[in-house]
Structure formats: C-alpha cells, structure tokens
C-alpha cells in the first residue's frame, strides 16, 4: 500500500492488526504512526491500552507478549514499536531486526490489537521468508516501503501537501525551499508548517519567496538558485554579489553545499547539450518544464566543452573544500576563486 492509501484508510477508521512501516524516509513512517497514536483510541482509553516500546531495549518476545494482551475497556489496544530494526531474538541477541517470530503472529493476529512496527532506515530482505509472508497477508498486515523522494519530486510534493491544507506556493518559492532543504521531508514539513501558521493570521493563502525570506531565513535574492541563474546568464556582477553575501554568511551557505548544487546544475546543462530531442528536456533533466528555459539559456552561453571544463573546476574546488591542496584559504576565498574560474572558462 502507498502512504496515501494507508492514511485514507485510517481517516475512515479502518485499522489493520499489523503495520510494518520500513524504509529510508522517516517522514511517512512517523506520520502514519502519529496518526494511529492520536486517533485510534480515545484519550481516556490510552493509559491502559497504548504501549510504546523501543527495539533497542526489547526482544521480539516482548513485542509478542504485548500484542497478545486484550484491551481494557476499549475496542482496541495499540502497541507501537519504535526502532524495530533493533529488535533481537531472545535466543540470538547478536542478530538484530529479524522479525520471523512476528511473522507467525501476523498470520493470526489478535484483532483487537493494532501493532505498529517502525523499521526505519532499512528494509527487510525482500528475498526473506518473513518479508514474503508479510506481503502476502494483505488482510491482516499492511506493509509500507517508505522511499526517499528524488529532489525533482519535492516541489510537486510540497504543492500537494499545501493544497490538502488549503494553501499554495509560488513556483520560485517551492524551488527555493527545495534547493536549501533538499529531500529531507521532515525539514520541509517543519518549515511549511511555520509558514502556514504565519499566513493563517491574514487572508493570504499563497506562500511566496518573500514569506520564506522573512520567516525561514533564506534570502530570495542571495541563494544558490539565484547563483545558478547568474552563472547560467554570465551575470558577473550578480554572481559576485551573491558570493560576497555567502562569504559573510557562511553558516547558511557552506562551500560544499554550494558546490554540490552548482555541480548538479551544470551536469544538467551538459545533458541538455546532448539531447537529440530537446522537447523531452523536462523529463530527462527531471525538472519542472518552467525551468527548462534556464538550461537552454546556459547551453547557449557555454559550449559543451566549456561545461566539461566547469565540471572539472567544481571537482577541483570540492577537493579543496575538504582540505586537499588547500593550506589556508577560507571558504569565502575559495568560492570567489571558483566562481571567477567558472565565468572565465576558456
């Protein structure tokens, strides 16, 4: 099942006996767990019927013992196991994360128990017997594989998240958040929630780059997205103003982060050069169609050979940022040198 399907079921008060929530993206796992923890029981039922345990302190048998208890004065009991990947078998405490004994419970679970297993940052071996059996038991067990989103998927995810709550966001503002927060959904949601609280006091329901600058601390004029545009347009004055701002505010604009973003940008410019069908650029580059014009403009300013040279410059400064061949230059000095060389690539 997908995250959306599970949440819709929960909103309709359809609870399954077992939830195995696993994978690299903790946001989806935490969101489902929190929904169950908040809504499955009445507040008066929780003291005797809601148990939260941590895998690093428990064994699989502890979980089974808790799951097999009957609720007291309620229709359900909720057992939430955080860090389930750390669970051990009492017969073999050296091996962590094996859920084979729970698999047999999932075949005939106690219908009055809602067992939630948070198996974060990893997944069960898909070739294992326990994984295959859990997947087959769709009537009793829900299995979610929570995968990290790619960065190019984040802007549309942001739009969906805000739309569900009656808000929207300007395209450049969405791109600004993505460039700075990446694909860490926990951080993205935290900032979006702050912005919605700010907007809730007025009539405005659309988040702009000005809102982000005023409330998140990301400048709408001095950010990596604007630096990319300045480099792509060969706007020397604008690029240098941004770099000077970065040098003065290095805590928010680390050299390594800037290099990674610009490297990704010029890789896309190089890819654009070699596209046989430019109409497919948005899909191939994994960018919003609105931003294809930026890569097209940069490709006109820089030949493919120059882009290759720029990528080599970025690799050189990536090494210098990590101390290789750099004895005393500050990050600000290195950034200025790097941008100068990019702008003057032969």
CATH number of the domain bearing residue 242: 1.20.272.10
Q: Are residues 273 and 334 in the same domain?
A: yes
Q: Are residues 119 and 156 in the same domain?
A: no
Residue 105 sits in which domain range? Answer: 3-146
What is d(CA 109, CA 132) in angstroms, rounded to the nearest whole number?
17
pLDDT number for residue 94? 62
What is d(CA 111, CA 15) in angstroms, rounded to the nearest whole number?
10
Number of domains present in the structure of the chain: 3
Q: Are residues 159 and 54 in the same domain?
A: no
20 three-state secondary structure: strand
What is the 3 state secondary structure string of 196-210? HHHHCCCCCCEECHH
Residue finishing a domain among 97, 115, 146: 146
Instruction: Write the CATH number for 118.
Output: 3.40.50.300
Q: Are residues 189 and 294 in the same domain?
A: no
Residue among 221, 320, 303 at smallest CA distance from 269: 303
Q: Which residues contact 24 (CB under 8 A, 6 or more apart)?
A: 121, 122, 146, 147, 148
pLDDT number for residue 74? 93
Residue finishing a domain among 165, 184, 215: 215
Which pTM was predicted? 0.75
pLDDT number for residue 92? 66
- For the chain, 346 residues long, the average pLDDT of each consecutive 10-residue run is 92 94 94 96 95 92 94 95 88 69 84 94 76 70 90 90 93 86 89 90 87 82 88 91 83 82 93 93 87 91 94 92 77 89 80
Q: What share of the chain is helix, strand, coil (3-state, %, to 5)?
A: 60, 10, 30
pLDDT number for residue 136? 66
Contact 272, 303 (CB under 8 A): no
pLDDT number for residue 198? 87
Q: Are residues 175 and 292 in the same domain?
A: no
Q: Are residues 336 and 208 in the same domain?
A: no
Sign of CA dihedral 56, 190, 10, 44: positive
Question: Alpha-carbon Rg of the chain, whole angstroms?
Answer: 25
pLDDT number for residue 128? 72
Instruction: Write the CATH number for 199.
Output: 1.10.8.60
Q: Are residues 133 and 15 in the same domain?
A: yes
Q: Are residues 246 and 310 in the same domain?
A: yes
Q: Are residues 210 and 330 in the same domain?
A: no
pLDDT number for residue 93? 63
Q: Are residues 9 and 141 in the same domain?
A: yes
Contact 233, 278 (CB under 8 A): no
Q: Are residues 196 and 293 in the same domain?
A: no
């Amino acid at each position: 099942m997908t995250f959306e399907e599970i949440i819709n079921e929960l909103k309709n008060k359809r609870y399954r006996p077992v939830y195995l929530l696993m994978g690299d993206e903790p946001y989806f796992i935490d969101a489902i767990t929190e929904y169950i923890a908040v809504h499955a029981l009445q507040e008066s039922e929780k003291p005797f019927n809601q148990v939260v345990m941590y895998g690093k302190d428990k064994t699989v048998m502890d979980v089974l013992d808790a799951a097999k208890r009957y609720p007291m004065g309620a229709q359900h009991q909720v057992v939430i196991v955080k860090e389930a990947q750390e669970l051990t078998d009492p017969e073999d405490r050296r091996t962590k994360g094996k859920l084979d004994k729970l698999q047999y419970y999932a075949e005939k679970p106690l219908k009055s128990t809602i067992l939630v297993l948070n198996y974060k940052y990893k997944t069960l071996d898909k070739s294992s017997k326990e994984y295959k059996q859990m997947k087959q038991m769709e009537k009793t067990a829900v299995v979610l594989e929570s995968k990290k989103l790619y960065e190019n998927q984040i802007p549309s995810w942001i739009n969906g998240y805000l739309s569900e709550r009656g808000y929207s966001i300007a395209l450049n503002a969405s791109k600004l958040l993505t460039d700075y927060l990446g694909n860490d959904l926990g951080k993205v949601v935290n900032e979006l929630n702050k912005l919605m609280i700010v907007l809730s006091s007025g009539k405005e329901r659309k988040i702009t780059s000005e809102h982000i600058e005023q409330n998140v601390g990301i400048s709408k004029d001095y950010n990596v997205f604007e630096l990319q545009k300045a480099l792509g347009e060969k706007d020397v004055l604008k690029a240098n103003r941004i770099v000077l701002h970065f040098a003065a505010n290095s805590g928010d604009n680390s050299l390594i982060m800037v290099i990674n973003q610009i490297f990704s940008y010029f890789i896309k410019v190089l890819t654009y050069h070699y596209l046989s069908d430019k109409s497919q650029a948005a899909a191939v580059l994994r960018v919003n169609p609105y931003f294809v014009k930026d890569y097209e403009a940069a490709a006109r300013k820089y030949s493919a050979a120059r882009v290759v040279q720029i990528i080599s410059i970025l690799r050189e400064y990536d090494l210098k940022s990590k101390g290789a061949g750099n004895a005393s230059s500050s990050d600000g000095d290195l950034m200025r040198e790097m941008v100068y060389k990019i702008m003057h690539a032969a």
